Amino acid sequence: MVNLNTPVQKIPRIGVQYQKKLKKLGIQTVRDLLWHLPHRYEDFSNIIPVSETKIGENVCVKGEITQIENTRTWKKKIILTRAIVKDTSGLLKVVWFNQPYLTNVLKTGDFVCLAGKIAQRPEGLYLSSPAYEKISKIKSQAGDLIHTGRLVPVYPETERLSSRWLRYILKPLLVQLREEIQDPLPEEIKKEYKLLDLKKSLWQIHFPDSRKLAKKAAERFSFEELFVLSLVVLRERMRLAREKAISVSLNLEVVKRFVDSLPFKLTNAQKKSTWQILKDLERERPMNRLLEGDVGSGKTIVAVIAALNVCKSNFQVAFMAPTEILANQHFQEISKLLKSFKVKIGLLTGKENKICYRGRTTNISRKKLLQKLKGKIDSHHQNFGVGVDILIGTHALIQGGVKFGLPPGGLALVILDEQHRFGVEQRARLCQQPKLIPHLLSMTATPIPRTLALTVYGDLDLSLIDEMPKGRKKIITRIVNPSERKTAYNFIKKQVKSGRQVFVICPRIEPASAREQNKVRSWADVRAVKEEYKKLSKDIFPDLRIEMLHGRMKSDKKEKIMQEFKAGKINVLVATSVVEVGIDVPNATVMMIEGVERFGLAQLHQFRGRVGRGKYRSFCFLFTESPAKKTRLRLKALISSENGFKLAEKDLEIRGPGEFSGARQWGIPDLQMASLKNVFWVERARRAAKELLSKDPGLKKYPLLQERLKDFREKVHLE
Ligand code: ADP
Ligand code: MG
C-alpha cells in the first residue's frame, strides 16, 4: 500500500536510474515527489480540428495516425519521424526529430492527442515535435489526458528529470493516494482563509482544471508553508520566553572608557544598536537579537562592547566565526582592542589554539585552553594565564568537550558572526546550565528582505546598522571587457607602486579538467586560482609579491598568508571566495573579480566590501566573458547601488525566487522563498498561526499539524 511516506524506491515504475536522479534532488518519499511542484503550465486545453491549425500557433489536435515512419535526412544525419494524423476535418503532417523510438510507441491506426507548434517546410505546414499521448478512442475524456488536451504541468527540469516522466509517475500516484492524503491544516483555518483542502490542491496543482484552480492550489501550498514556518518560529519564541537567562548589569564606566579608547567615533546607528543590546543583557529573559548591517558598517565593535560588558561582570562570552581565517582575524582585532582592559581572550579552532592577555599572545594546547575555560571562576585574580573570558573560534566551539565555567560565573553571551543561521541550535549546544540560557547575538551582512525577516524571525529583535562610518568613499565599480584587461593590469601596477594592495578573486581553485570541460563547455573559460597565480606572478607582475589563498590549503599556511597580507608584505592576493566574509585589510584598494557571472549579487557585494575600508579611494573591477543580458543587468545593479539590502531585492527581481543566494543560505527551501515574496499571504499566515497558538499552544488538538512541524524542523535546520 502506498502512502505519503513510502520511499520512492518502492514505487515499481521508478527504476534505478531515476532513483538516483531523485536522490540528487533530495526527493526521498512519495510526499517529496508530490511536493515537487510545476513552475508553469502549457495550455493545450483547446483541442481544434486539424483544418484550423495555423502557422506559428501552439495547437492541440486529436486524431488517428494513418502513416508513421522514420527517415534520415541527407546532410545532417538527423532521424526524422514523419507521420500523418487524420481527424474529421482533414489531414496534418507531423515531424519529430531524433526520436526514432517513436515508431515503436505510435503505430498506424492509433488514436493520439498531439500538442505543439505549427511550422512550415517547403512541402507545407506541419506539426513540429509535438507532445503526444495515446488515447483509447477519439471521444476519451479530457480528464484522462496528462500531456496534452489540458493545462499541462511543466516542472523545473533539473537533473534531467523530464516533465513527461514526472506526469507519468505523478498521475497514478494521485489516484492511488486518494484515501491516504490527510490534511494537516485545521478546518476552521481553511474556512476562514478560503483555502482548498490538501487533496484537491494536489490534484489541481499538478493537473489543473483551470488556471484559476491552479492558482488557488498554489496559494494553499504557500499558505501552508508560511503557516508552518510561523508556527515553528512563534513556538520557539514562546519557549524561549519561559526560559531564564543571566542578567548582566551594565558597567557604564567600562563601556565609556572603551568607546573613548577607539580611534574613531561610533556612528549613531552603532550607538543605538549597542544600547539595545546592553539593555537586553540586563534582563533575565534570553536575548534573541539579530544585528544586521551592511558590509563594513562596523558590527564587530558593537559585539565587542557587549562582550566587554559581560566579561566585566565575570561572565564568559563565546564568539563564533564561520571560517578559521575570520576567527583568527577576530582574535587579533579583539585582543588589540581590549589590550588595556584585562580581558583574557582565547582562540579555539580545529587546528590551533591561543590565548592572549594584555596584548601578549601565546600558543596553548587545546586541553589546557579548555581547562582554563572551565576554571575561570576558581581564579578570580587576574594573573596571566588563568581563565578565559572571551572564547573565539570556529565550529570547533560546538563540537563537544567545550565547557564553560560554572555559577556564579559561566557563559552568558553567544555571538555568532556571519553564520547565516538562526543560532537556535548553536546556543543549545553551548548551553550547559539547563536553567540558564545564554543571550544570543547573531550578526549578519546578508541582507534579508523585509517580508522574509518578518516571518523567519517572528518577533525576534532586530538591530539595524543603517549608516556607514563617516568618511568612507564610494568604491568605484567597473565592468572590464576582455579587451581592457591590459589597462586594468597597468592600473593595478600603479596602485601597488603607491603602496596599496590588491585582491584577485577566481571562481575555482583548480582549472577544469578535460573531462569537466567536455561536460560543460563554458567551464574551459573559468579562471582558477592556481593558474591565475602562476600567470600573474610569472608574466604580468613578475616584480611584485603575489600569493594565493584557498580552502584546500593548510590552515597554518592560510593564516600566515593572511597575516602577511594584512602586514602589507604581499602585493596581490589571488583567492577563492574564502575572502568573502569579514576580512578586513584597510590598505587594500583594488578588488578584481574574475568570472563574475559565477557569483550572486549579494556575494559580489561582499567581495567589493573587502576594499574601501581605509582612507584610500578604492576600486572594484568586474571581469566577465559573458555578454548574457542577465549578467549585464545584475552587474549594472551592482555598479549603481552601494546598498546591500537594495541589491538583495534587485537580485530577487532579476533572478527570481529560489535563486536568491542570501536566502538559500538561511536554509529556506525554494517554495517558501517564493511564498515569502507575497506579503499578503505572509501576514495572513502569521495571523492564523498566532490565533491558533493562543487557543491551543501545544497544538494538542492537531496531531497532523504537529507531525508537519516536526517534519519541517528536520528539513529546515533552525540552527
Ligand atoms: P562589518 O560590519 O562588515 O563586520 P567591521 O566590524 O569589520 O565591519 O568594520 C569595518 C571597519 O570599520 C573596521 O576596520 C572597523 O575598525 C571600522 N569601523 C567600525 N566602526 C567605525 C566607525 N564608527 N568609524 C570609523 N571606522 C569604523
Ligand atoms: Mg564582520
Three-state SS annotation for 318-377: EEECCCHHHHHHHHHHHHHHCHHHCCEEEEECCCCEEEEECCEEEECCHHHHHHHHHHHH
Give the whole-angstrom CA distance, residue 317 versus residue 306. 9
C-beta of 295 in contact with ligand 1 (< 6 A): yes
Is residue 617 pLDDT above 50, yes or no? yes
Give the closest ligand to the alpha carbon of residue 337.
Answer: 1
Topology (CATH level 3) of domain 252-282+298-444? Rossmann fold (3.40.50)
The CA 232 to ligand 2 mean position distance, Å, reads 29
The CA 464 to ligand 2 mean position distance, Å, reads 14
Nearest CA to ligand 1 atom 26: 469
Helix (H, G, I), strand (E, B) or coil at 37: coil
C-beta of 296 in contact with ligand 1 (< 6 A): yes
C-beta of 154 in contact with ligand 1 (< 6 A): no
The CA 606 to ligand 1 mean position distance, Å, reads 14
The CA 607 to ligand 1 mean position distance, Å, reads 16
* Sequence-ordered alpha helix ranges (H) in 180-267: 187-192, 198-206, 211-242, 252-261
CA-based nearest residue to 476, from 608, 577, 650: 608
The CA 590 to ligand 1 mean position distance, Å, reads 18
pLDDT tens by residue, 112-135: 999 999 998 887 889 999 999 888
Domain residue limits, the chain: 46-149, 252-282+298-444, 476-641
C-beta of 421 in contact with ligand 1 (< 6 A): no
pLDDT tens by residue, 179-227: 888 899 999 999 999 999 999 999 999 999 999 999 899 889 889 988 9
Give the closest ligand to the alpha carbon of residue 301.
Answer: 1
87 confidence band (pLDDT: 50, 70, 90):
very high
The CA 428 to ligand 1 mean position distance, Å, reads 30
Q: Which atom of ligand 1 is nearest to the CA of 293?
A: 2
The mean per-residue pLDDT over the stretch 171-176 comes to: 91
The CA 299 to ligand 1 mean position distance, Å, reads 7
pLDDT tens by residue, 405-448: 888 889 999 999 977 555 666 777 777 666 788 999 989 876 66
Ligand 1 site-directed mutation target among 613, 643, 645, most atoms within 8 Å of CB: 613
Q: Which atom of ligand 1 is nearest to the CA of 297?
A: 2
The CA 303 to ligand 2 mean position distance, Å, reads 10
Topology (CATH level 3) of domain 46-149? OB fold (Dihydrolipoamide Acetyltransferase, E2P) (2.40.50)
Place of cell 481544434: 48
Nearest CA to ligand 1 atom 24: 469
Neighbours of ion ligand 2 (CB under 5 A): 582
The mean per-residue pLDDT over the stretch 308-327 comes to: 92
* Sequence-ordered alpha helix ranges (H) in 96-210: 102-105, 163-176, 187-192, 198-206
- Give Cβ neighbours of residue 397 (< 8 Å, ≥ 6 apart): 318, 320, 348, 391, 430
Give residue 45's pLDDT.
84
Nearest CA to ligand 1 atom 25: 469
Q: Which atom of ligand 1 is nearest to the CA of 418?
A: 4
- The answer to whether 607 touches 599, Cβ cutoff 8 Å, is yes
- Chain centroid to Cα 453, Å, comes to 14
Q: Which residues pair with 255 in a beta bridge?
A: none
Give the whole-angstrom CA distance, residue 423 versus residue 666. 11
Whether the model pTM is above 0.75: no
593 confidence band (pLDDT: 50, 70, 90):
very high
DSSP per-residue letters across 590-624 = EEEESSGGGS-HHHHHHHHTTSS-SSS--EEEEE-
Q: Which atom of ligand 1 is nearest to the CA of 266?
A: 23
- Give Cβ neighbours of residue 264 (< 8 Å, ≥ 6 apart): 469
The CA 210 to ligand 1 mean position distance, Å, reads 55
Which amino acid is it at 568?
G
C-beta of 301 in contact with ligand 1 (< 6 A): yes
Please compute, for residue 427, the number of CA atoms within 13 A of its CA located in the half-sphere on the CB side: 26
CATH 3.40.50.720 corresponds to the domain 476-641: no
The mean per-residue pLDDT over the stretch 353-379 comes to: 85
Work out the angle at residue 19's Cα, subtended by the Cα atoms of residues 17 and 20, and round it to the nearest 5 degrees: 70
Please compute, for residue 640, the number of CA atoms within 13 A of its CA located in the half-sphere on the CB side: 8
Give the whole-angstrom CA distance, residue 110 versus residue 103. 11
- Give Cβ neighbours of residue 175 (< 8 Å, ≥ 6 apart): none
C-beta of 101 in contact with ligand 1 (< 6 A): no
Q: Which atom of ligand 1 is nearest to the CA of 300?
A: 6
C-beta of 297 in contact with ligand 1 (< 6 A): yes
Q: What is the DSSP letter of 528?
A: B
pLDDT tens by residue, 487-515: 999 999 999 999 999 999 998 898 877 66
The CA 530 to ligand 2 mean position distance, Å, reads 27
**Cβ atoms within 10 Å, residue 501:** 22
C-beta of 267 in contact with ligand 1 (< 6 A): yes
Instruction: Give the strand pairing for 316-320 and 390-393.
Output: parallel
Ligand 1 site-directed mutation target among 304, 466, 584, most atoms within 8 Å of CB: 584
Give the whole-angstrom CA distance, residue 673 versus residue 31. 19
Is residue 377 pLDDT above 50, yes or no? no
252-282+298-444 against 476-641: fold identical: yes
